[in-house]
A and B are shown apart, each in its own frame.
Chain A
Amino acid sequence: MGKKIKRIFGIDLGTTNSSIAYVDDYGKAVIIPNSENQRVTPSVVFFDGGTIVVGDVAKESAKLYPNEVVSFVKRAVGEPDFLFEYDSQIYHAEEISSFVLRKVAQDAEQNLGEKVQDVVITCPAYFGINEREATRKAGEIAGFNVRQIINEPTAAAIAYCAEDPLDKHTVLVYDLGGGTFDITMIAIDSDTIEVVCTGGDHNLGGKDWDDRVVNYLVQEFQKQTGIDDDILEDPDTCQDLQISAERAKKILTQRKKTPISITHGGQRVKIELQRDKFEELTQDLLERTVNFTKEMLSAGAKKGHTTFDDFILVGGSSRMPQIARRIQQEFGVEPKVYDPDGVVAKGAAIYGWKLALNDGLAQKISEKQGINIADQSADEIIELSPEMVIKDAAQELARETGYTLPAVERSMVKVKDVASKSFGVVVRDQGDEEMVYNLIMRNTSVPVDASKTFYTAVANQETVLIRIMENEVSEKTVGLGYTMEIGTAVLKLPPGLPADLPIEITFRLDNEGRLKITAVESAESRKVDVTIETNSVIHGTALEEAMARSQSIVVY
Chain B
Amino acid sequence: MERENFYLLLDLPIDPPEENAENIQRAITAWQAKWSRYRNHPTKSLEAKQYIGMIPEIRRVMLDPDLRRQEATRAAKESHRQLAQKFAEIDRHIDIRMSKGYVTDEELFKLAKLHQVSLADVRERLQQKQQRKFAEIDKALAVRMRKGYVTEGELEKIARRYAVGIADIRKRVKGTIRRTETDSAQQGARTLEKSIEKLITGNLKIVGKASLYDFLEIPPSATIAELQEKTRQKEEQLLKTTTKDALATASTILVGQCTTLFKNEENRRSYDVSRAQSYLQELNSDIDVAGLDGKIRAEYLEVLVKRAIDFGMDAEEAREYIQNYCRQKNWRIEKPAKRRSFLIAAAAVFVLLAAAGGYWGRRYVKARRLEHEYQQLTVQAAAQPDLVKRQRLFQDFISSHASGAYTQKARAQVASITSTIREQGFRKLVARAEHLEKAGQIDSALALYRKYLQAHSRRSPYAGRLTARIRKLKRMADERDFTSLQAMIDTPVYERVGRYLDYLKQNPASSHRQTVLGMIQAAREEYYLHLIRDCKRLDRSEQWESAKSLIQDFLKVYPDDSRRVDLTEMLSTFDTKIRDNRMFEALKKRADQLLPDFKAARQVYSDYLLSYPDSTARAKAQAMLHALDLRREAARLEALRREMQNRLTVAKRRFAVVQKGVVQDKSTGLMWCLLDSQQVLQKASGCMNYAAARRYIKSLKTGGFSDWRLPTAAELTALYKKRPFFPSGDPPSWYWSADSYARYADGWSKIVDVVSSRNVQKGAAREIDSRDCAVVRAVRP
Please list the residues of chain A having a beta carbon within 8 angstroms of any beta carbon in chain B: 67, 71-72, 75-76, 79, 81-85, 90, 128, 201-204, 207, 210-212, 214-216, 218-219, 223, 226, 230, 232, 238, 241-242, 245, 277, 280-281, 283-285, 287-288, 291, 295, 421, 458, 470-473, 478, 481-484
- Taking a contact as CB atoms under 8 Å apart, the answer to whether B36 and A82 are in contact is yes
- Taking a contact as CB atoms under 8 Å apart, the answer to whether B259 and A482 are in contact is no
Do A84 and B37 form a contact, CB below 8 Å, given A79-B52, A288-B256?
yes
CA distance A85 to B37 in the complex (A): 9
Complex partner residue of A288 from B193, B259, B330, CB under 8 angstroms: B259
Residue of A79, A232, A285 with most chain B CB atoms under a 10 A cut-off: A79
Per-residue interface assignment for chain B, residues 276 to 299, with 1 indicating a CB less than 8 Å from any chain A CB and 0 otherwise? 000000000000000000000000
Residues of chain B within 8 A (CB-CB) of A202 are 244
- Taking a contact as CB atoms under 8 Å apart, the answer to whether A482 and B240 are in contact is yes
Residue of B39, B41, B52, B261 with most chain A CB atoms under a 10 A cut-off: B39
10 additional contacts, CB 8 Å, given A67-B37, A421-B242, A471-B242? A81-B55, A83-B29, A90-B29, A203-B252, A223-B194, A284-B253, A291-B235, A481-B241, A482-B240, A482-B242
Q: Does more than half of chain B's interface fall in helix, strand or loop, or is it mixed?
A: helix
Residues of chain B within 8 A (CB-CB) of A242 are 42
Do A219 and B52 form a contact, CB below 8 Å, given A287-B260, A472-B241?
no
Do A203 and B244 form a contact, CB below 8 Å, given A76-B36, A238-B42, A288-B256?
yes
The answer to whether the Cβ of B165 comes within 8 Å of any Cβ in the partner chain is no
Closest to B249 in A: A203
* CB proximity of B330 to chain A, nearest CB, Å: 7
* CB proximity of B82 to chain A, nearest CB, Å: 19
- Taking a contact as CB atoms under 8 Å apart, the answer to whether B239 and A281 are in contact is no
The answer to whether the Cβ of B40 comes within 8 Å of any Cβ in the partner chain is yes
Do A281 and B240 form a contact, CB below 8 Å, given A81-B53, A82-B36, A210-B42?
no
Complex partner residue of A83 from B36, B44, B45, B261, CB under 8 angstroms: B36
- Taking a contact as CB atoms under 8 Å apart, the answer to whether B39 and A82 are in contact is yes
Residues of chain B within 8 A (CB-CB) of A219 are 193-195, 198
- Taking a contact as CB atoms under 8 Å apart, the answer to whether A285 and B256 are in contact is yes
The answer to whether the Cβ of B116 comes within 8 Å of any Cβ in the partner chain is no
Residues of chain A within 8 A (CB-CB) of B198 are 215, 219
Closest to B579 in A: A432
- Taking a contact as CB atoms under 8 Å apart, the answer to whether B40 and A72 are in contact is yes
* CB proximity of B430 to chain A, nearest CB, Å: 59
Q: Please, could you name 15 A-B residue pairs with CB atoms under 8 Å apart, sorted by A? A: A75-B40, A76-B39, A82-B36, A83-B33, A85-B29, A90-B33, A214-B42, A215-B196, A218-B195, A277-B193, A284-B256, A284-B257, A287-B256, A471-B242, A484-B242
- Taking a contact as CB atoms under 8 Å apart, the answer to whether A473 and B42 are in contact is no
Residues of chain B within 8 A (CB-CB) of A79 are 52
Closest to B192 in A: A280
Residues of chain A within 8 A (CB-CB) of B393 are none
Residues of chain B within 8 A (CB-CB) of A67 are 37
Complex partner residue of B239 from A230, A277, A295, CB under 8 angstroms: A295
Do A232 and B242 form a contact, CB below 8 Å, given A81-B52, A201-B252, A287-B259?
no
CA distance A280 to B196 in the complex (A): 10
Residues of chain A within 8 A (CB-CB) of B252 are 201, 203-204, 288
* CB proximity of B38 to chain A, nearest CB, Å: 10
CA distance A115 to B52 in the complex (A): 39
CA distance A82 to B261 in the complex (A): 34
Residues of chain A within 8 A (CB-CB) of B39 are 72, 75-76, 82
Residues of chain B within 8 A (CB-CB) of A277 are 193
CB contact list, B293-344 vs A, under 8 A: 329-330
The answer to whether the Cβ of B43 comes within 8 Å of any Cβ in the partner chain is yes
Residues of chain A within 8 A (CB-CB) of B378 are none
Closest to A201 in B: B252
Complex partner residue of A232 from B37, B40, B44, CB under 8 angstroms: B44
The answer to whether the Cβ of B199 comes within 8 Å of any Cβ in the partner chain is yes
The answer to whether the Cβ of B56 comes within 8 Å of any Cβ in the partner chain is yes
Do A284 and B260 form a contact, CB below 8 Å, given A201-B252, A203-B252, A226-B329?
yes
* CB proximity of A536 to chain B, nearest CB, Å: 11
- Taking a contact as CB atoms under 8 Å apart, the answer to whether B32 and A281 are in contact is no
Residues of chain A within 8 A (CB-CB) of B45 are 211
* CB proximity of A20 to chain B, nearest CB, Å: 24
Residues of chain B within 8 A (CB-CB) of A82 are 36, 39, 52
Residues of chain A within 8 A (CB-CB) of B256 are 284-285, 287-288
- Taking a contact as CB atoms under 8 Å apart, the answer to whether A280 and B193 are in contact is yes
* CB proximity of A473 to chain B, nearest CB, Å: 5
- Taking a contact as CB atoms under 8 Å apart, the answer to whether A473 and B32 are in contact is no
The answer to whether the Cβ of B243 comes within 8 Å of any Cβ in the partner chain is yes
* CB proximity of A478 to chain B, nearest CB, Å: 8
CA distance A245 to B244 in the complex (A): 26
* CB proximity of B345 to chain A, nearest CB, Å: 35
- Taking a contact as CB atoms under 8 Å apart, the answer to whether B329 and A71 are in contact is no
- Taking a contact as CB atoms under 8 Å apart, the answer to whether A283 and B242 are in contact is no
Residues of chain A within 8 A (CB-CB) of B36 are 76, 81-85
* CB proximity of A94 to chain B, nearest CB, Å: 13
- Taking a contact as CB atoms under 8 Å apart, the answer to whether A472 and B42 are in contact is no
Do A281 and B52 form a contact, CB below 8 Å, given A85-B33, A421-B242?
no
* CB proximity of B157 to chain A, nearest CB, Å: 36
Residues of chain B within 8 A (CB-CB) of A210 are 42
Residues of chain B within 8 A (CB-CB) of A291 are 235, 259
Residues of chain B within 8 A (CB-CB) of A421 are 242
- Taking a contact as CB atoms under 8 Å apart, the answer to whether B195 and A283 are in contact is no
Residues of chain A within 8 A (CB-CB) of B249 are 203
- Taking a contact as CB atoms under 8 Å apart, the answer to whether A470 and B242 are in contact is yes
Per-residue interface assignment for chain B, residues 51 to 82, with 1 indicating a CB less than 8 Å from any chain A CB and 0 otherwise? 01101100000000000000000000000000
Residues of chain B within 8 A (CB-CB) of A223 are 194
Residue of B32, B36, B235 with most chain A CB atoms under a 10 A cut-off: B36
CA distance A76 to B52 in the complex (A): 10
Per-residue interface assignment for chain B, residues 248 to 277, with 1 indicating a CB less than 8 Å from any chain A CB and 0 otherwise? 010011011101110000000000000000
Closest to A79 in B: B52
Residues of chain A within 8 A (CB-CB) of B243 are 483-484
Do A281 and B193 form a contact, CB below 8 Å, given A81-B56, A287-B256?
yes
Closest to A233 in B: B44
CA distance A223 to B198 in the complex (A): 14
CA distance A90 to B25 in the complex (A): 14
CA distance A232 to B43 in the complex (A): 8
Complex partner residue of A211 from B42, B242, B244, CB under 8 angstroms: B42
Complex partner residue of B32 from A71, A72, A81, CB under 8 angstroms: A81
CA distance A284 to B272 in the complex (A): 17
* CB proximity of B434 to chain A, nearest CB, Å: 59
CA distance A37 to B777 in the complex (A): 104
Closest to A66 in B: B37
Residues of chain A within 8 A (CB-CB) of B196 are 212, 215, 281
Closest to A76 in B: B39
Per CB-CB distance, the 5 closest pairs between chain A and chain B, nearest first, are A284-B256, A85-B33, A215-B195, A214-B42, A211-B42
CA distance A528 to B532 in the complex (A): 50
CA distance A83 to B425 in the complex (A): 82
- Taking a contact as CB atoms under 8 Å apart, the answer to whether B42 and A216 are in contact is no
- Taking a contact as CB atoms under 8 Å apart, the answer to whether A214 and B43 are in contact is yes
* CB proximity of A44 to chain B, nearest CB, Å: 11
Closest to B56 in A: A81
CA distance A429 to B108 in the complex (A): 66
Residue of B55, B244, B330 with most chain A CB atoms under a 10 A cut-off: B244
Residues of chain B within 8 A (CB-CB) of A230 are 43
Residues of chain A within 8 A (CB-CB) of B32 are 81, 83
CA distance A71 to B613 in the complex (A): 57
Residues of chain A within 8 A (CB-CB) of B41 are 232, 238
Residues of chain B within 8 A (CB-CB) of A284 are 253, 256-257, 259-261
Closest to B52 in A: A81
* CB proximity of B569 to chain A, nearest CB, Å: 14
Closest to B232 in A: A291
